[in-house]
Amino acid sequence: MQTPPPPPPPASAQPSNPLHGLTLERILTALVAHYGWPGLAERIALRCFSDQPSIASSLKMLRRTPWAREKVEGLHLFMLREQRRDARPAPAPRFGQ
């Protein structure tokens, strides 16, 4: 007797998670492009960002340190909110009030 095939995965298991589908490398690369290594080291006090920083060494450290990864993911979400806020058009001035 054959076993039935497994059910297909849901189309979007995490529709409201902005980090879904992003690799840690993409997140870190975007942060470095936006803030630079010195800016990243100011915002998150990790030696891998201030002492001879590189993507490879930072990824190695972040993959082994859950609390540091959470801080990096949180900063990425903050950066995305900032970018969305800055991209919004300014409200039109109201006359007569």
Is this model's pTM higher than 0.85 or not? no
CATH homologous superfamily of 24-86? SAP domain (1.10.720.30)
CA–CA gap between residue 53 and residue 46 (Å, rounded): 10
CA–CA gap between residue 91 and residue 97 (Å, rounded): 15
CA–CA gap between residue 47 and residue 33 (Å, rounded): 18
CA–CA gap between residue 96 and residue 88 (Å, rounded): 24
Which helix (DSSP H) or strand (DSSP E) does residue 72 occupy? helix 66-87
pLDDT tens by residue, 80-92: 999 888 888 877 7
CB 84 within 8 A of CB 71: no
pLDDT tens by residue, 25-43: 999 999 999 999 999 999 9
The DSSP line for 27-48 is HHHHHHHHHHHHHHHHHS--HH
Residue ranges per structural domain of the chain: 24-86
